[in-house]
Structures are given as C-alpha cells and as structure tokens.
Amino acid sequence: MDAASELKANPKARSVKPTRSLWKKVKQQKALMAMSIPFVLFVIVFSYVPLWGWLMAFQDFKLGTPMLQNHWVGLDNFRELFRDDSFLRVIRNTLAMSIINLVFGFLSSITLALLLNELRSIMFKRIVQTISYLPHFISWVVAANLIMNMLSIEGIVNYILVNLHLIQEPILWLSKGEYFWWIIGASNVWKGVGWGAIIYLAAMTMIDPSLYEAASIDGAGRFRKIFHITLPGIRPIIVILLIMSIGHILDAGFEQQYLLQTPMVVDQAETIDLFVLKYGINLSRYSFATASGIFKTLISVILLVAANQFAKRMGQERLF
Amino acid sequence: MKRIVAGQRRKWKLSAFDCVNVLLMLMLLVVTLYPFLNTLAVSFNQATDTVLGSNFIWPRKFTTLNYTNLFEDNTIYNAFFISVSRTVIGTITSLFCTAMLAYTISRKEYFLRRQISFLFIFTMYFSGGLIPGYMLIKNLHMNGTFWVYIIPGLIGAFNLIVMRSFMEGLPGSVVESAQIDGANHFTIFLKIVFPLSMPVLATVALFVAVGQWNSWFDTFLYNSSKQDLSTLQYELMKKLQSASMSVSGNAETLFSNSDNQQANIVTPTSIRAAITIVAAVPIIVIYPFLQRYFVHGLTLGGVKE
C-alpha cells in the first residue's frame, strides 16, 4: 500500500535515480517536514547535546572553560570512583533497594491482578481498581509526607504494633538504618501496586475464555486455572517487563530516598543518583559526578542487551 | 445438565476463596486510603488537638484555620499559582507538539518516520544524565525562568509512541479522502486527526499534567533561589525537609501559650497536612474520570515499541 500510494502520487518514482527521488520526496513532503523538523532539533538539543557533556568525565572540568579546552585526565575520574569506599557502598544500596523493589513490585502487582481477575462483582472490582491507582498519581513529595506521618512515633504503624504487643515501645522507623531499604520497598509497593496491575489485567482479558471453559469441564479448580491458564497466559508480558526492569536495575529511585532519608540513615539511603547529585550539584565536582553517571548508563545498557539476548535464547518474547 | 451441576458445586466449594479475596481487597483499600483520610482529617483538625494524638480519620475539633492560615501566606499562594500555570501551559503545549510530531511519523509515506522515531526511542535508554543536562540548561540561560518547566519536557518519547500507535490505527480512508480534496497535512492534522485522537489525547494529557503538577526537582535544581517561581510541591518538600530535621518543634510552641489562645494556633504538622491535601486533591479529583482512557493508553504504549 505504501508503494502503491507513492506510485499514484508520482508515477515516475520507480524509474528515477535514488538521489533525485530523495530530493523529490523532500519537495513533496515539505509540509510533513515543516511539522516535524523543529522537534527533531528540539530532541537533538535537549537529549543529544547533553551526551556531548560526557566528555567532561575524561577531563578536569572547570566551569566557564569551553568543553574541549579543559585538561584531559583520561580515566582518572573512573579510577578515583572505584577507589572511593563510599561509591561501593552506594552501589550496594542501589542494588539492594532495586532488587527489593523489583521482586516485591512484580510479585505484588501480579498477585493483585490475579486476585482482581477472580473477583465476582464487577462493581467491587472497579472500585478497588480505581482506588488502587490513587497513590500512583500523587507526587513522591506528598507520598513521603504521608509515609512519614504513618511511621512517626505517634503514627498508626507504631500504634498498632504497640497495641498488639509486637513491640514494647514506639520505634523511630525512619532513623534506623536497618529498616530503610524495606521502608523504601514497602513505599514503592504501596505507591505502585495498583498501577502495575493494569498491564497484567489487560493481558488477562486477551486470554481465550474457551480455555477456562474447557478446564472447568475437566474439573479444574480455581487455583489450577490460575496456575495453568492465567499465569502462562500473561507470561510474555511478564518477560517483557522483566527485561525492561533489568535495564533499570541501577535506577533504585531517587525521589523517595531523597525525601525519606534522615541524617541518621545516609549510609543506607544514598543511591547512585543521590551520589551524582551530591558531587555534581552540591560539591560542584562535575567531572567526577558525570563519570559515575556514565558508569550507571553503561551498566544499564549492558544489562538490558544481556537480558534481551537471554530471553531470545530461551525462546521467549523480547524487547528488540 | 451435568455442566450446571458441576458449576454450582464449584461455586459452593470455592466460596471460601472468594471471602478471603474480598477480605484482602478490603485490606488493600484500607492501607491505600487511610494515609489520605488521616491527613485530610488532621488538616481540618485544631492543631492543639492533633498534638494529643493523630490517629483518626475524622476531625475531632473541626477548623478551617489551617487552610486560611496557609493561603494568607503569600509564598504558598504564589506557588499554587505557578503550579497551576505550569500544569496548564505545559500540558497544552506538550499535547499539541507531541500530537503534531506523532501525526507526521504515523504517515506511512513520510520518508523520515523511522529515523525520527528512532531518535526519540533512543532517548528512553540513553540520556546525558543529571550533570550534562544541568549544564545545558545553564548554558541556554533557562535557569531562573518559567520556561525551564515547559520546554525541556515538551515531548516525551513514551507519549509520542503511544500517540503514534493510536494514529496508525485510525482508518486511513478519512485522511486519504481529505488529501484528495486538496487539504494539506497541517489542516488534516488539525481538523481531522487531532479531534479523532481524543481518547489518546486524554491519556497523554493526564500523564503530562500529573508530571507537571507533581514535579519539584526542576524547581529545586534551577529555580530554588527564585521565590516567585517556586511551586507548591517544592514548598511542601521544603516543609517536609524541615520536619524531618526537627521532631520536637510542635510541643514547644504549644505549651508556651495559654488555653484560650490554643484554638487559634497552627503547628508545622497541621500546615504540612493542609499543603499535602492541596497538593494532592486536584489530581485525586481528576484521574478517576480519565480511567478508561489511561488504561487503554498504557496497554497501547506497552505493546508497541
């Protein structure tokens, strides 16, 4: 259809030489170009020009000096990065929170989708869904406020735990380093579980209903149908989302840690993004901060490609 | 006949599962809603009463003082105005520009469609990162201006792909007949494709508006020294930071005052609750109405790369 419409518009298109046909296309499609080229320039300026800034990771960048005239230091910034004990701690924190988020995020969303799918009352299902989206739409600033209130000394969490005699006296949750990763994990589940379930529920509606009917006739119960029809039915989408999130394994989040951290838990709270912010913006060590940013991007891309290859080899769905 | 009997037996046998399921869902509702209801109640409760214990979902001593106090504060009033402005202007411009670009790359005959799509999709995986981005904004002298809220995020790759997928699904005959009538691409986009794309426009509008309303980090990075460009979320963030630094601020201010004055006192906690509600309510009111759109839009973006 593509070629046919082109042929209709320009009967000689097939016979002309490539360069001339390109020029013809430009002339013919100048309206489309006028509508899109400004935005191409936009994306180049705002997304590709910053990539040029990566050069400063190999320099001793000073503000005000033109990019190429800074002193080149090779890989010194990267060497310093790996010698820095705090950077290793930052990677540990990032990976820990990211894995917690990944595991509990996936499990909670899939579980919620399965449970919603089994609800008999459509009305009730809709109400639960609508309310479960709510936390996704509020900002992390609002969420952090709510979470801080819940976890305060006189907050509901301490109130319940003390009254159930599970703890002797209220705990200052946010000032104890050992709880921080789990608080972040729980906050992410609270905020994202409903939203995460959407895509699985949509995938479940695509499953052929006759499969369920056939299974019922064969005497399969609710659980067998969940494990043998529903879960296999949504497996492709689970695999795709897993691949995508493996590429984001170093994105442990930024806002939640920044907003919920207290001076007492910095050792557990600092992620790569916070590290970059600290050195880049607060301490003006631009080259060093950019080097750690590049490290993060490179690892992410390597992981994404690797996960994709792995999925390909396993004969699963894949991203590209 | 046999099937009906089997069906009835199944229903009876598994009703325990249904009960547990409903119970779990009710628990989810409580866990989701309690923080909001609690904060709402605190924001309408007398500050002096809140100090005595804040685990309730209905104000014990009703007052609107926390809110009147909040909006007497000029910085909050102005921040609210900036937040509304950036949400409205940012959403309209982003929606229009994204839709226009999506229209061009949804046209099968457009010879640059693949290249442009690639340019945008690439940005989903590779970005310069915080520091180069920050340098760029500084070099463009956009820091300290309102436009830093609008321009850098004008077109998001995800939104673009969602819109493109939708427009590719529109019946081609509508556009072709307009083309035969001699309409140019801009007219076709504006008069035909844009109105036909309302479902996806609603979705993207919600995503963009939520992002605009909720963001505080750009204010923090670029406009933290410009009080007149501060946003509501950033003001709330500052309150949150000072609250997590000092735990005991409330009691001191309270007990230095005599009883009859106490009804007119606001504490940082109450003010924080009121701002939290102001910062959350506009979105909470809007999103349920756009639900059927964004559920569809999300799957559209998820399936097609």
Residues A146 and A179 in one domain: yes
**In angstroms, rounded to a whole number, what is the distance separating the alpha carbons of residues A284 and A277?**
9
> For residue A319, is it within any domain?
no
What's chain B's average pLDDT? 85
Confidence class of residue B252 from pLDDT cuts 50, 70 and 90? Answer: very low
Residue B111 forms contact with A (CB below 8 Å):
yes
- Put simply, the answer to whether B7 touches A124 (Cβ < 8 Å) is no
Is residue B139 classed exposed, middle or buried when 0-12, 13-18 and 19+ CB atoms within 10 A define those classes?
exposed
Residue A218 contacts B where some CB pair is shorter than 8 Å: no
Q: Based on the domain organization, do A293 and A259 belong to the same domain?
A: yes
Tell me the CATH class for B87-227+295-303: mainly alpha
Is residue A18 less than 8 Å (CB to CB) from chain B? Answer: no
Residue B221 has pLDDT above 80, yes or no: yes
Same domain, A119 and A7: no
As a whole-number percent, the residues of chain A with pLDDT over 70 amount to: 92
Among A39, A74, A109, the domain-final residue is A74
Whether residue A273 sits in one domain with residue A124: yes
Please check whether residues A57 and A88 belong to one and the same domain. no
Asked whether the predicted pLDDT for residue B13 surpasses 90, the reply is no
pLDDT at residue A316 tops 70? no
Number of domains, chain A: 2
* A259 in a structural domain: yes
**Residue A15 above 60 pLDDT?**
no
- How many angstroms separate the CA atoms of B1 and A182, rounded? 53
The pLDDT score that the predictor gives to residue B260 is 52
In a shared domain, residues A113 and A33: no
Taking CA–CA distances from A283, the nearest residue in chain B reads: B131
Range of the domain at A175: 82-313
If asked whether residues A202 and A103 sit together in one domain, one would say yes
- To the nearest whole angstrom, how far is the Cα of B258 from the nearest Cα of chain A? 24
Average pLDDT on B132-136 reads 90
β-strand partners of A60: A71
Cβ distance B101 to A39 less than 8 Å, yes or no, reads: yes
Q: Percentage of chain A surpassing pLDDT 90?
A: 40
Domain definitions of chain B by residue range: 87-227+295-303
Do residues A223 and A284 both lie within one domain?
Answer: yes
The answer, yes or no, to whether residue B303 has pLDDT greater than 70, is no
pLDDT band at B56 (very low <50, low <70, confident <90, very high): confident
Which chain A residues have a beta carbon less than 8 Å from that of B24? 115
Contact call for A141 and B240, based on CB within 8 A: yes
Q: How far does Cα B118 stand from its chain's mean position?
A: 27
Q: Report which secondary-structure segment, H or E, holds B259.
A: none
**Shared domain check, A131 and A44:** no
What is the DSSP track for chain A?
-HHHHHHHH-TTTTTS-HHHHHHHHHHHTHHHHHHHHHHHHHHIIIIIHHHHGGGGGGEE--TTS-GGGSEE-TTHHHHHHHH-HHHHHHHHHHHHHHHHHHHHHHHHHHHHHHHHHH-S-HHHHHHHHHHHHHHHHS-HHHHHHHHHHHTSTTSHHHHHHHHTTSSSS---GGG-HHHHHHHHHHHHHHHHHHHHHHHHHHHHHTS-HHHHHHHHHTT--HHHHIIIIIHHHHHHHHHHHHHHHHHTTT---SHHHHHH--GGGHHHH--HHHHHHIIIIIS--HHHHHHHHHHHHHHHHHHHHHHHHHHHHTT-----
User: Mean per-residue pLDDT for B178-203?
Assistant: 89
Domain co-membership, A124 together with A50: no
How wide is the angle at C-alpha A315 spanned by C-alphas A247 and B297, nearest 5°?
A: 55
Cβ–Cβ below 8 Å for B215 and A301: no
Contact A145 B272 (CB under 8 A): yes
- B216–A49 C-beta distance less than 8 A: no
How far does A288 lie from chain B, in Å, by closest CA?
A: 10
pLDDT for residue A297: 87
A119 to B21: CB separation less than 8 angstroms, yes or no: yes
A147 and chain B in contact, CB less than 8 A: yes
**Of A50, A74, A98, the domain-final residue:** A74
Predicted pLDDT at B251 = 47
B residues 166..195 contacting A (CB < 8 A): 176, 184-186, 189
pTM strictly above 0.95: no
Per-residue pLDDT at B4: 47
In a domain, A320, yes or no: no
* B103 neighbourhood in chain A, CB within 8 Å: 35
Model confidence at B157: pLDDT above 70? yes
Return the residue in B26, B36, B106, B131 with the most chain A beta carbons within 10 A, the one to mutate for interface testing.
B131
* Same domain? A91 vs A144: yes
Q: Residue A320's pLDDT is what?
A: 57
Asked if A58 and A158 sit in the same domain, the reply is no
CA nearest to B211 within chain A? A139
Highest mean pLDDT: which range of A299-313, B60-74, B99-113: B99-113
Domain end call among A74, A91, A108: A74
Q: Is the pLDDT of residue A17 over 50?
A: yes
- Hey, are the CB atoms on A33 and B126 less than 8 Å from each other? no
- pLDDT of B7 higher than 50: no
Least confident span in A16-20, B135-139, B176-180: A16-20
Least Cα separation, residue B257 to chain A (angstroms): 23
Q: Is the pLDDT of residue B249 over 70?
A: no
Percent of chain B's residues with pLDDT above 70: 87
Query: Which segment, A54-63, B228-237, B284-293, is predicted with the most confidence on average?
Result: B228-237
Find the residue in A nearest to B28 (Cα). Answer: A132
